[in-house]
Amino acid sequence: MIESWRWFGPLDAITLPEIAQTGATGIVTALHEISYGEVWPREAIAARRAMIEAAGFTWEVVESLPIHERIKRGEGDLAPLFANYRDSLRNLAAEGVKVICYNFMPLLDWTRTDLKAPVAGGGACLRFEAYKMAAFEINMLGRAEAEADYPAAVRARGAAWFQSADEATREGLLHAIMSGLPGAYDRYDIAGLRAALKLYEGIGRDELRANYKRFLQEVVPCAAELGMRLCVHPDDPPRDILGLPRIVSTAEDIAWVLAAVDDPANGLTLCSGSLGANPANDVPAIARRFADRIWFAHLRNVRKEPDGSFEEAAHLDGDTDMVALIAALLAAEAGRDTPLPMRPDHGHDLLADIGRATHPGYPLIGRMRGLAELRGVARALRK
């Protein structure tokens, strides 16, 4: 596997020379400064590629080429947005970048309630606390339907938290939930989030699937013609959030996506942390089932709790058997013309990273530790 590293470009506090010291050889990045729906100019792609190559890396994967919210909602004349997406694919292919990670999560990307949850031995991790999410949806956002989404005990604990929390603490929760949005995009305040959610009224699972299938039908043939691989990222967490349906959360969801346009260009980003947060998912089994359509891998681990909470564990700890998963990915890679790019996904804030202004979940030392552990497993399995 190609050991890769997510880098947020000029927005990233971690520099390419620092990444070189981790042993990673590939970079995973995007043009985060370009607004959703606009064409990525070839000149901008070439400049970013030159910056990466000058530092001694290859640009292995785009993460992400975002999908405009109007496409997810199926709203209005979408032909220009589909055309722009295809043009961006053509410009990326012309610069030799042919693996594209994206997601079809409505409105938000990954969602957490705590960005600095303490871990044993020191350091901090990302955490999803069910009662805090309940408090946010019910008590802060005022979404009436959220009452039915949480057990009574979780709702009660969330209400107690809300009553005891001061305004700064509540704002901290909003900030954490908004932090999954990449790059420099504006975050929502409560009023803005309510307005954005209103645009999704009437869009359930079936409607979102129909809109997703249309997107695939519009762009996968272009990707196939260019020799590219589109790799959907699973929902994070793999459950409905804010009343919005999530449709890439289980093995059966993935099977539907890959069958919607049955072409190798329509593939999967195997994210062990996202999938691993659903108790019904056997992540190594999912990797074995879809081995011929996995074109990119995010490797991290989570530790789940009965009420739906989870936290990000060290890469070899947690609930997913990482050794079995890496064995499945190595088997999937065998016989291919090109190796499988993977990256250590997320990491604990450790040592000198504590207090450093890195993107949440993306510290230097915690991910370097994870990469070293994953590298050791892969080399042992190859022996």
Region of 299 (left: φ > 0; alpha: ψ -120 to 50; beta: rest) is: beta
Band of the pLDDT at 319, cuts 50, 70, 90?
very high
Report yes or no on whether pTM surpasses 0.85.
yes
The label of the residue with tokens 């961006």 reads 88
Write out the catalytic residue numbers: 233, 271, 298, 345-346, 362
Residue type, 142: G
Residues 82-124 have pLDDT tens digits of 999 999 999 999 999 999 999 999 988 899 999 999 998 899 9
Band of the pLDDT at 1, cuts 50, 70, 90?
very high
Looking at the chain, the whole-number percentage of residues with pLDDT higher than 70 is 98
- Helix runs in 136-282, H state only: 152-164, 167-178, 190-198, 205-226, 251-260, 272-276
- Return the CATH superfamily for domain 2-110+200-382: Divalent-metal-dependent TIM barrel enzymes (3.20.20.150)
Residues 13-47 have pLDDT tens digits of 999 999 999 999 999 999 999 999 999 999 999 99
**pLDDT of 219 above 80:** yes
Band of the pLDDT at 184, cuts 50, 70, 90?
very low
Pinpoint the residues of the chain covered by CATH 3.20.20.150: 2-110+200-382
Residues 280-311 have pLDDT tens digits of 999 999 999 999 999 999 999 999 999 999 99
Measured over the CA atoms of residue 26, residue 32, residue 37 and residue 39, the dihedral's sign is negative
Average pLDDT, the chain: 95
Residue 183 confidence (pLDDT): 47
Residue 125 confidence (pLDDT): 97
